[in-house]
Structure 1
Amino acid sequence: MEYPAEANCFLVEHAVVIRDSYRQLLLKELIPDVQSDRQFAKQLFYAPFAVVSHDTASDPIFNYANLKALELFELSWEDFTRLPSRLSAEAVNQAKRDQVLATVSEKGYIDHYEGVRISSTGKRFLIKNTVIWNLADKNSRYKGQAAWFDQWVFL
């Protein structure tokens, strides 16, 4: 999968699905006051908060991470976009994570999620006040799920 960059407009089509799904479900903006889709995609990639998304596979694979998320998980874009999203949580926490994602599938989103994640080097961190939501394209086709968080504590 292509790395977000100026040359590909920071994967603007996927960023727009993230933005529009968030707006539709939460009735607010992920990044307020952005004028264009391209500007939004760039700001999303360089945002001070973390945003990730995964696809619709039976064992979903991450298909997006902004720079902050890549830093927290200590992974390159290439490695992150090959990672099953369940592996972002330790095995002991995966059942709870699966329950949360099932709730999101049913209700559309949750906010105030809290859970422990693990980086590629084994650093554990608690994410707080996380929003997780379903992604849908402009034709209402399910495209996976995304998560946003701006609070984390290394354990």
Structure 2
Amino acid sequence: MIPLNRNPSFYQLLSDSYARLVGQRLVPHVMPVAEATEWLYETAPFAVLAHNTDPDPVFIYGNKAAQRRFGYSWSEITTLPSRLSAEAPNREERQQFLERVQRLGYETDYKGVRVTKSGERFIIEQATLWQLLDADGTLHGQAVIIPRTRDI
């Protein structure tokens, strides 16, 4: 089984659902799927995270930009319940945001406080969260693109 950070099919799910719901490309220009999969994981200048549909969703994907910002390795981030990316007082606000995305399909221009592995707080800005829906409408989770962050 190919890990999701190297899996062209998972990249296609991220990219296709983003394009369908948000109306934009996830990568800056057209490139072969294998190249785009690699670019998004290794060199994208923005963070991308995805979590599954578990009752307590766990991250299943975090590109290198996300790993650097949150301070986790691939093996750590892909076992982390996504709620732990926010401090306890901010989890209710985060949950309401996730529920809005479930109803609407996506939301843009989100801003919120997040926390690194070491406990440092930072703000994510201009984030877009979307449903990971395949072509048949099956929900696989949610993903977020975080183009800007700043330290608190």
- TM-score bin (small chain): over 0.9
Once the two structures are superposed, what CA deviation does each residue of 1:114-151 show, in whole Å capped at 9, x if it has no partner? Answer: 00000001111100010000001232210000000111
Correspondence for 1:82: 79
| CA RMSD after TM alignment | 1.2
* Residue 65 (str. 1) matches residue 62 (str. 2): yes
Segments of 5+ residues of structure 2 without an aligned counterpart are none
Unpaired segments ≥5 residues, structure 1: 5-9
Q: Does 1:40 align with 2:36?
A: yes
Q: Secondary structure at the match of 2:10?
A: helix
Retained in 2: the 8 A contact 1:131–1:149? yes
* Other-structure match for 2:53: 56
2:9 pairs with 1:13: yes
Residue 77 of structure 1, CA deviation: 0.6
Cα distance, 1:18 vs structure 2: 0.6
Question: Is 1:132 paired with 2:129?
Answer: yes
> How many aligned positions are there?
150
Q: CA deviation at 1:3?
A: 6.7
2:22 — aligned with what?
26
Q: Which residue of 2 aligns with 1:104?
A: 101
Cα deviation code 1:86-135 (max 9, x no counterpart): 00000000000000000000000000100000000111110001000000
